[in-house]
Amino acid sequence: MSLIVHKYGGTSMGSIERIKNVARRIAKWQKAGYQVVVVPSAMSGETNRLLGLAREISDRADPRELDQIASTGEQVSVGLLAIALQAIGVKAKSYTGWQVPVTTNSAYTKARIESIDDARVRRDLAEGAVVVITGFQGIDAHQNITTLGRGGSDTSAVAVAAALKADECLIYTDVDGVYTTDPRIVPEAKRLEKVTFEEMLEMASLGSKVLQIRSVEFAGKYKVKTRVLSSLTDPEMPLAEEAASGTLITYEEDETMEQAVISGIAFNRDEAKITVAGVPDRPGIAYKILGPVAEANIDVDMIIQNVSHDGQTDFSFTVHRNELDKALDVLKSKVQGEIQAKAITGAKDICKVSVVGIGMRSHVGIASQMFETLAKEGINIQMISTSEIKISVVIDDKYMELAVRALHKAFGLES
Amino acid sequence: MSLIVHKYGGTSMGSIERIKNVARRIAKWQKAGYQVVVVPSAMSGETNRLLGLAREISDRADPRELDQIASTGEQVSVGLLAIALQAIGVKAKSYTGWQVPVTTNSAYTKARIESIDDARVRRDLAEGAVVVITGFQGIDAHQNITTLGRGGSDTSAVAVAAALKADECLIYTDVDGVYTTDPRIVPEAKRLEKVTFEEMLEMASLGSKVLQIRSVEFAGKYKVKTRVLSSLTDPEMPLAEEAASGTLITYEEDETMEQAVISGIAFNRDEAKITVAGVPDRPGIAYKILGPVAEANIDVDMIIQNVSHDGQTDFSFTVHRNELDKALDVLKSKVQGEIQAKAITGAKDICKVSVVGIGMRSHVGIASQMFETLAKEGINIQMISTSEIKISVVIDDKYMELAVRALHKAFGLES
């Protein structure tokens, strides 16, 4: 029997009416012969409300306690969804992360899943029940509740699908798929029917906010077929039609089709740039700079170091904007003296724009076309970073929309 | 070092400001050299809000899922209180019922505590932390979350105090102690400085809604000194004064003082009366009637059977008003045919009024004085039930206030 994991976001769970619609959709899949595991998010606004209460008390709240509090949003959701399923005659049972258990490390507020025990879930599925599991959370080795960070329910869903070897993981969300870029910025943006994990990874991490990046990593690593599709359609729409909608994220490169060179333009306005200027160019410097930053649990995205002059070099990287001050504190207190850097500076008025495409591997000229397009628009490039399937540039914040539109057009994505 | 358990009700936890006050009060006790374990309720209104969401979906929701949902109210409270304590420099750590763990049976929505593991709590106390534990909930043998039913946080607090062999359990609430009767009905009602567990048990079960009855049972069984006191006083009031305020519920009868014969008048308007009329008077009938009721998890309070006439008798008992219909269903479907009862009737327009006092044991004439007082007011008595320390009557609902006032005066409680 086919096993499907459904994931519903906060908007889909946003009211009692919507929860009832989610239940009807799930019932349709079960009636069609699928075993179904569901991972719902907290009702929209609930996580913010809970963390807001904590913030009213203290702006430096203990992350362990924040997780204790924030994890309740999903716990309420699974109970309500189980009741909604039962109310329409579908056998259902809810579990929290610790009940499954979903084991994570102890990095509160941004924990990572280590393992998922599938015994309880399989038993219930065998008995014909729909199993509803909290997203976003788990339990560490010391029985503490942990959360996976914002968007963590996507990761939970894909991880559950991997653990259960599900046939497909359907991520129901308020958009109907993955687009070549954000349609709010480029109205001509087109929905992709398929995208590879690698492309999606670049798209997600670079700011196309459809899926949480770690969910895509999981999907790629464990080869979970994952589909992003809309939860705003009629719950009673024909199953075959629903099953083919949205965007499939796949681990198979589609050899039979003419592959577009570029699959999309991604962007990200949540980052800040840090430059450690005038550091001696010798082995171990990168570690000396980034070690303390990593220890402070600050995620780093782009890292750039160019050739040196006179034995000195500049080292730049980007962090989440909210963590800029913390990162600068760490660098000034623990790093600057140690490595004798001349200056440490940070800037928030930047953005990152990226061209992504698996087809890029075998094509030259993409980078030059990108740089040319930006130059024509008079946009200065502050940093460049490339991988096999993407080219990212950091530019002035205010040019973001202009850059995205120009690139979308230059690479012919609207056609 | 003395160990104290504090319990705070929903009103005391009703806003961020109040939670901060609770933290200040706890800090005062810790500073004075006490080890402190705190059991807070959910923020006022929260449990109703959560259960209301479930009820919007279904009025026959799965009790397991209701507990999954309702237990989150206290989980948020413990996290917030731990953060509030940390914010004023007090080391603190929160635990849910399952984290302690507090083990219960599997009777969802009205589970009973079976054991409490004190290892984790003791370790934190030894390290100088205040430990904050969710009230109202536990975990059953199959890792399901259970709740103890309304007012269950009182029971949790006393059970935790018993498990930790705490020196005293302080129940902070919105009244400043136990009164001879409800001051809203009898303005002359007086606060009792001390009351025995047995008296309190009768007072609580009969409707003086200061403490949940099971908490008093626990307190009596495990000899936990329990004090009911106000959370509305200044958190910075002198500790010695606070420690002597309220009403102490004690297991020691106070031999040195002149004991009042009657300690209070209790009442209860939440019950309904059921009469199974015309049943054959033979062994096993009571079990045949109440067995199916108990199996349906319906609590029974007063049970009365009088002498028989012509081999037949009437069997009456009271249940909670909300369970009257369910109890009548059970009796009509499973009992009536079986025992050939002539009629099964129920009535909701009743109340129970009780005179309670440990001193009653050694004094005759209390019952007759009670009946005389009611007769003078023209109040008909429908049922009578007595124990060593209380006499209860069931009367017409509409006479309740009149009966309570008359009895309070007749037994000289206002002086």
In this prediction, residue A149 carries a pLDDT of 83
Distance of alpha carbon A205 from the chain centroid: 6
d(CA B144, CA B233): 38
Residues A96, B16: C-beta atoms closer than 8 Å: no
Q: Which of B349, B346, B354, B379 is nearest to B273 (CA)?
A: B346
Q: Is the pLDDT of residue B287 over 90?
A: no
pLDDT (mean) for B206-228: 82
Interface check for B51 against chain A (CB to CB < 8 A): the answer is no
Q: Which of B219, B250, B281 is where one domain is finished?
A: B250
pLDDT at B198: 83
Query: Is the minimum CB–CB distance between B77 and chain A shorter than 8 Å?
Result: no
Residue of A nearest to B79 (CA): A65
Q: Do A38 and A142 reside in the same domain of the chain?
A: yes
Domain boundary among B250, B277, B304: B250
> Distance (Å, rounded) from C-alpha A92 to C-alpha B105?
22
Closest-CA distance, B108 to chain A, in angstroms, reads 13
Residue A191 falls inside a structural domain: no
Determine the pLDDT at residue B364: 64
CB B188 within 8 A of CB B405: no
pLDDT at B207 over 80: no
Q: How large a percentage of chain B has pLDDT more than 90?
A: 60
For A30-44, what is the mean pLDDT? 97
Residue A163 has pLDDT above 90, yes or no: yes
d(CA B108, CA A93): 14
Residue B196, in any domain of the structure: no
For residue A385, give the amino acid letter: S
- pLDDT, one tens digit per residue, over A362-373 is 666 788 788 889
Q: B268 and B320 share a domain?
A: yes
Residue of A nearest to B73 (CA): A72
Residue B100: pLDDT band by 50, 70, 90 thresholds?
Answer: very high
Rounded mean pLDDT, B78-103:
98
Q: How confident is the model at residue B311 (pLDDT cuts 50, 70, 90)?
A: confident
Distance in Å, alpha carbon of A87 to nearest chain B alpha carbon: 6
Q: What is the ipTM of this complex?
A: 0.75
Looking at the fold, whether B220 and B317 belong to one and the same domain comes out as no
Question: What digits encode the pLDDT tens for the residues A342-355?
Answer: 899 999 999 999 99
Mean pLDDT, range A216-235, rounded to an integer: 90
**Residues whose CB is less than 8 angstroms from the CB of residue B329 and which lie 6 or more positions away in sequence, other chains included:** none
B409 and B295: one domain? Answer: yes
Residue A70 Cα distances to A41, A146, B146, angstroms:
11, 9, 20
Chain A to chain B, count of Cβ pairs less than 8 Å apart?
108
pLDDT, one tens digit per residue, over A84-109 is: 999 999 999 999 999 999 999 999 99
pTM for the model stands at 0.78
- pLDDT-derived band at B216, boundaries 50, 70, 90: confident
Whole-number percent of chain A with pLDDT over 70 = 95
- Verify that B7 and B146 share a domain, yes or no: yes
Residues 124-143 of B with CB under 8 A from A: 143
CATH code of residue B407: 3.30.2130.10
**Cα–Cα separations (whole angstroms), residue A188 to A179, A355, A359, A408:** 10, 16, 21, 9
Once rounded to an integer, what is the mean pLDDT over residues A30-51? 96
Co-location of A269 and A386 in the same domain: yes
Model confidence over B322-380: pLDDT tens digits?
999 999 999 999 888 888 888 999 999 999 999 988 767 666 678 878 888 998 999 88
**Rounded to the nearest 10 degrees, how much is the dihedral formed by the CA atoms of A258, A262, A264, A269?**
170
- Taking CA atoms, A211 is separated from A26, A46, A201, B223, in Å, by 21, 19, 9, 56
- How far, rounded to the nearest angstrom, does the alpha carbon of residue B147 sit from its chain's CA centroid? 15
Q: Mean pLDDT across the stretch A206-219?
A: 76
CATH (domain of A120): 3.40.1160.10
Q: Could you read off the pLDDT of B152-188 as tens digits, one per residue?
A: 899 999 999 999 999 999 999 988 888 898 888 899 9
Q: Is residue B64 part of a domain?
A: yes
pLDDT computed for residue B205 by the predictor: 63
Q: Are strands A168-173 and A226-230 parallel, antiparallel or unpaired?
A: parallel
Find the domain containing B327 and state its range. Answer: 258-415
Tell me, yes or no, whether B319 and B224 share the same domain: no
Q: What is the overall mean pLDDT for chain A? A: 90
Is residue B181 one of the residues assigned to a domain? no
Give the pLDDT band of residue A175 (cuts 50, 70, 90): confident
A16 touches chain B (CB under 8 A): yes
In a domain, B395, yes or no: yes
Highest mean pLDDT out of A51-55, A283-287, A315-319: A51-55
Residue A203 lies in a domain: no
| Closest residue in B to A84 (Cα–Cα) | B57
- Residue B289 inside a domain? The answer is yes
Instruction: Identify whether A186 is part of a domain.
Output: no
DSSP letters spanning A227-276: EEEESSS-TTS-HHHHHT-SEEEESS--TTS---S--EEEEE-SEEEEEE
Does residue A177 sit in helix, strand or coil? coil
Q: Which of A135, A1, A162, A160 is nearest to A81 (CA)?
A: A135
The H or E element spanning position A66 is helix A63-70
Q: What is the mean pLDDT of residues B12-41?
A: 97
What pLDDT score was predicted for residue B361? 64
Q: B81 and B7 in one domain?
A: yes
Q: Do A243 and A364 share a structural domain?
A: no
Based on the fold, state whether residues B262 and B231 are members of the same structural domain.
Answer: no
> What is the average per-residue pLDDT within B388-392?
83
Band (pLDDT 50/70/90 cuts) for residue B263 is confident
Chain A interface disruption, residue of B16, B72, B142, B144, most A CBs within 10 A: B72
Instruction: Kindly list the residues from chain A whose CB atom is less than 8 angstroms away from the CB atom of residue B98.
Output: 98
Look at chain B and report how many structural domains it folds into.
2
Helix, strand and coil percent figures for chain A, each rounded to 5: 35, 25, 35
Query: Mean of the pLDDT values across residues B111-115?
Result: 92
Give the pLDDT mean for A395-402.
Answer: 94
Closest partner CB to A61 (pick from B57, B83, B93): B83
Please give the pLDDT value at position B400: 94
- Respond yes or no on whether the N-terminal peptide bond of residue A101 is cis (omega within 30° of 0): yes
Check residue A313 and give its pLDDT. 83
Indicate whether A159 and A268 sit together in one domain: no
Chain B partners of A133 at a C-beta cutoff of 8 Å?
none
- A143 and B87 within 8 Å at the Cβ level: the answer is no
pLDDT-derived band of residue A257, with 50, 70 and 90 as boundaries?
very low
Q: How far apart are CA A107 and CA A149, in angstroms?
A: 10
Answer yes or no: do B236 and B285 share one domain: no
State the average pLDDT over residues B198-223: 79
Task: State both tokens at B396.
Answer: 């017409």
Residue A399, φ and ψ in degrees, nearest 5: -95, 5
Quick one: DSSP state of residue A106?
S
Q: Is B408 exposed, middle or buried (0-12, 13-18, 19+ CB in 10 A)?
A: buried
Q: Would you say residue A258 has pLDDT above 50?
A: no
